[in-house]
Amino acid sequence: MKDDKRWILPTVLAVALVVVGVLGITQYEQKNDYKVMLNNQYQRMFYDMKDHVETVQTSLSKALLSDSKEQNILYLSQIWQQALYAQEKLSQLPVKHNNLSKTQKFLNQVGDYCYAMIQNELEDKPMTSEQREVLAELQNYTGLLSKELADIHNKVMKGNLNLNLVRRREDKKLEKANNDMLNTNLTNFEEGMSEYPELIYDGPFSDQVLNIKPKGLGDKEVNKNEAMEIAGKFIGDKKARKFTTFQEGDDVNKAANIPSYTFSVAMENEEKEPGLYISVSKVGGKVIWMANPRNVKDIKLSVDQGLKYAERFLKEKGYENMEVNYSVKYDGVALYNFAYKQGDVTIYPDLIKVKVALDNGEIVGFDASGYLVSHYDRDIPEPKLTQEEARDNVRFNFDIENVRLTIIPKSGKREVLCYEFKGKYNGSDFIVYINALTGAEEEILKVIKDENGTLMI
């Protein structure tokens, strides 16, 4: 009996060792599977961005050749939309955003310059030779960016670039990775942007607007720990497991002129790291943006259903009097644009973007940079024209469905009080903005509605 008992403990230990070994191997394999999955997700984002940039370059070449108003609007619309998508994908890649601020600004301005050209075409203002020269220069720079992306693509195909390694920034392999990583190639493009000209046009990302001092931050400065606490409260019931300083400084969020702290956040009950990224302003301690670059596959919600999640989220975060103006659906998410409403006046410069995953209604994107730059309690003047008087400055055969007062942004840091006339002309939806003080026609937007949402161009 004693001999039998002597074998019990070693046997138990041996079994335990085998179990621990099996669990260790299983966890190791699971960890590797998550790494592969995350790397594949980043690669998909990169490939999508590359395709969007190539489409921008192709459409720019077509717009330069076209001499038709209808075709110009078509090609310029494609450029505007694809540049928006490319910038969106770039913002989700594991690259230091302060290293790529010029690239992000370039993509924003390409889209917005073409957006301004669309407005000119709709107002029967033909493209000038100077504007075509700008488009030609934009095409040249887009060609350079396409080349850099093609070089990165070749490295990925050869297995010389692991985007998950770029994200993790492993110390032992960082020096070698830097020779191949995404930053290296796109930094070449950044250096080539030193001669990139300032664009003067009416658009939310024009240089004049970007240089505005933010009005909606307040005065209190916060340190990194306070910013981390603010970020944790904003994330809410998901509860952050680990915060890592992704980047900080005056160059962060330079496009919106808001110095900030940006954190990568690992979430509880989630294997992949980070779960999301979030940026908090140094002054005021406001959350500027949040992005969760997860993949959405099983779509269960409509755009209208997703809107309810976005509206509830804004109210929970203290953003009152926000109304949705248009939305876009892509890659399993819906992006909603909200404008602030002061009294009965819609304030378009005070813009917040909310992105909702259409599988479960999770908020996977938030951008309040426009709101934080522009928002303040305005002293709105009384209109000098009545609604009926303003109506006289709209085409007589424009079938008006809705009228409201709005404030729209214009070049030179101006804001203009307008009557917004929504309606139909020749079977298409348009919005006409008439200055409520002078009666001048300020803007005309065409509304495009389809199964993916509503766009205004």
Residue 51 has what pLDDT?
Answer: 84
- Mean pLDDT for each consecutive 10-residue tract of the chain (457 residues)? 55 58 52 51 74 86 80 84 82 59 78 83 82 85 81 64 50 39 53 56 53 79 92 77 65 61 76 72 92 84 94 96 87 89 94 92 90 92 95 88 92 84 88 93 79 65
Helix/strand/coil for 18: helix
Report the alpha-carbon distance of residue 83 to residue 10 in Å, rounded.
66
Residue for token digits 């340190």? 223
DSSP 126: P
Residue 172 has what pLDDT?
Answer: 40
The torsion angles phi and psi of 211, rounded to 5 degrees, stand at -85, 5
Residue 177 has what pLDDT?
Answer: 39
Q: Where are the beta strands (DSSP E) in 106-163?
A: none
Cα→Cα distances 132→126, 183, 363, Å: 11, 31, 40
Helix/strand/coil for 266: strand
Q: Partners of 327 in the beta sheet?
A: 336, 454
Residue 112 has what pLDDT?
Answer: 81
Helix 69-92 crosses helix 8-65 at what angle (to 10 degrees)?
160
Cα→Cα distances 133→63, 139, 356, 423, Å: 12, 10, 39, 35
One DSSP character per residue, 351-412 reads EEEEEEETTT--EEEEE-HHHHHH-----PPPPSS-HHHHHTTS-TT-EEEEEEEEEEEETT
Helix/strand/coil for 317: coil
Residue 24 has what pLDDT?
Answer: 56
Q: Residue 371 corresponds to which amino acid?
A: Y
* Contact criterion met (CB below 8 Å) for 11 and 4: no
* Contact criterion met (CB below 8 Å) for 46 and 163: yes
* Contact criterion met (CB below 8 Å) for 268 and 238: yes
Pairing between β-strand 322-330 and β-strand 453-456 as defined by DSSP bridges: antiparallel
Which is nearest to 290 in space by CA: 262, 270, 268, 313? 262
Which is nearest to 60 in space by CA: 142, 174, 182? 142
Domains of the chain: 27-201 (no CATH), 224-374 (no CATH), 387-456 (3.10.450)
Report the alpha-carbon distance of residue 91 to residue 70 in Å, rounded.
32
Per-residue b/e over 302-336, b at no fewer than 16 CB within 10 Å?
Answer: ebeebbebbbebbeebebeebebbbbbbebbbbbb
Report the alpha-carbon distance of residue 74 to residue 79 in Å, rounded.
9
Residues 6+ apart with CB under 8 A from 54: 146
- Cis amide bond preceding 274, omega within 30: yes
Which is nearest to 394 in space by CA: 430, 428, 427? 430
Residue 310 has what pLDDT?
Answer: 97
Residue 383 has what pLDDT?
Answer: 96
Residue 271 has what pLDDT?
Answer: 57
Alpha-carbon Rg for the chain, nearest whole angstrom, is 26
Report the alpha-carbon distance of residue 96 to residue 312 in Å, rounded.
31
What does the block give as tokens for 193? 């942007």
Report the alpha-carbon distance of residue 326 to residue 330 in Å, rounded.
14
Residue 439 has what pLDDT?
Answer: 94
